[in-house]
A and B are shown apart, each in its own frame.
Chain A
Amino acid sequence: MHISEGILPLSWAGIWWGVTAGALALSFKRLKRDVETQIEKKAVFAFITALVFLFSMVPIPVPFSGTCSHPVGVAVAVFVLGLSGSIVSGFIVLLLQALFLAHGGLSTLGANAFSMAIMGSFSAYLVIKFTQNLKFSLFIKGFLAGLFADWITYLTTAFQLAMALKEEEPFFSLFIKILIAFIPTQAPIGILEGVITGALVTAIYKRRKDLFAFENLKTLKEVVK
């Protein structure tokens, strides 16, 4: 989902930067408050950001399509850091990748952060909220959060590209074309991301459930079966 430098026209790059900057400012304010009240959050933030960085950098070969792609990793961040922490964490990861690894770009950082850090995190957050009081195992909750975070990220990227590059072509036609091109690679990667997220959140929960950002997950023992 890394849109490279120069792909988006400046007007679109500016719009996505504006939206991202607003969400980032709110998230940063909230994260700062959390870190001030719980000093351990600093270590947790570093830990999760390193994990998201690794997740979103590893190219995994997909035999069905003959291409490589990467998970996004933000679902784990939402479980542990909450929505605001995950947004800031995702932005830092994408900034480092744009600056040092030639992944993405600076003008397109707003768009990339919107798709992965904001929409990816938000979709995982919604899944967690909707399933919070359901008697699913934590692994299934993690699986669904990881799966949707991944797929929604790529859906957003397809939307951003179609909006910016449509020219004379109808938006919907280009959107579907990009989406179909993503599916053979990203459908299995999304499932893999779901499995990894489910396993990781279950492992963290078994050791330190107090680290979780969601109250119900801290107290409902029956979510781990």
Chain B
Amino acid sequence: MRKIVVIILGLCLLLFSVVKAEETKEKWTGLDEAVIEKVAEEKGRAPKSIFNLEGDTELFVFSLFSGLAGFIGGYYWRKLLSEEKKCIFTGSHHKSLSQRLT
């Protein structure tokens, strides 16, 4: 039941987002661009980029780093939280991660 409520709320949010997107001229610009860079440009300090991510390279780099961070986060979540919990519930004498690392 809870899952269904979450899904419905999520869909409503998405629907509302699309409606609002139609109303705005610049759709879903980042806050950095919409506020920080806009104020800076008004004051004559346009942002410079250290390097340009052209075309799909931006998508590639974001996907790569998100994937890596997700993998590291997931791996350590399992190592630190799930495996330890499993040990407690099964009552086995598995070594804790700290013991294994030493």
Contacts and interface: CB of A to CB of B under 8 A. Distances in A.
Given A54-B73, A63-B16, A67-B30, A4 B47 contact: yes
Interface stretch (A21-29, A100-108, A121-129): A100-108
A39 B47 contact: no
Contacts, number: 151
A47 B72 contact: yes
Interface string A171-203: 000100110011001100000000000000001
A224 interface: no
A59 B50 contact: no
Interface in B53-68: 53, 58, 61-62, 65-66
A51 B45 CA distance: 33
Nearest to A106: B50
Interface stretch (A5-13, A81-89, A139-147, A213-221): A5-13
A67 B28 contact: yes
Given A66-B20, A207-B82, 15 more contacts: A38-B98, A40-B96, A46-B76, A47-B72, A47-B77, A57-B66, A59-B30, A61-B28, A68-B30, A102-B58, A161-B36, A165-B43, A177-B39, A178-B35, A207-B85
Contact of B101 (A7, A40, A99, A182): A40
Interface in A39-87: 39-40, 42-44, 46-47, 50-51, 53-54, 57-59, 61, 63-64, 66-69
Contacts of B17: 61, 63
Contact of A67 (B16, B29, B69, B72): B29
Interface of A: 1-9, 38-40, 42-44, 46-47, 50-51, 53-54, 57-59, 61, 63-64, 66-69, 96, 98-103, 105-106, 157, 161, 165, 167, 174, 177-178, 181-182, 185-186, 203-204, 207-208, 211
B50 to A, nearest CB: 6
Contact of B46 (A1, A6, A58): A6
Contacts of A177: 39
A6 B44 CA distance: 11
22 contacts: A1-B31, A1-B36, A4-B49, A38-B98, A40-B96, A43-B97, A53-B69, A54-B73, A57-B69, A59-B30, A66-B23, A66-B26, A66-B28, A68-B29, A69-B30, A100-B61, A102-B53, A105-B50, A165-B45, A167-B43, A203-B81, A208-B81
Contacts of B58: 102
B47 to A, nearest CB: 4
Given A54-B70, A208-B84, A165 B30 contact: no
